[in-house]
Amino acid sequence: MLVFLAYYRIRNWQRGNAMVYAALVFGLLGVVAYVRLDKLIKTLKEQGVLRPDYKEE
């Protein structure tokens, strides 16, 4: 339902507004992906899969 509402609103607004909202959505997805990656790295270090001194390049 929420996806339909968002699609309907974006489709009926001006093109500039749609681009702003698309940028916000993809920005939020990027933040979520970054947080999940940090949690994954922490978990793999605790399990011993990664070295404790592992650093991202």
Domain extent listing, the chain: 2-47
pLDDT, tens digit (0-9, with 9 covering 90-100), for 11-45: 666 556 777 778 888 999 999 999 999 999 999 99
pLDDT of 4: 66
Return the C-alpha torsion angle 31, 36, 37, 38, nearest 10.
90
| Collapsed DSSP state (helix, strand, coil) of residue 25 | helix
Q: What is the pTM of this model?
A: 0.60
The backbone torsions φ and ψ at residue 53, rounded to the nearest 5 degrees and listed phi first, read -95, 15
Rounded-to-integer distance, Cα 28 and Cα 56, Å: 22
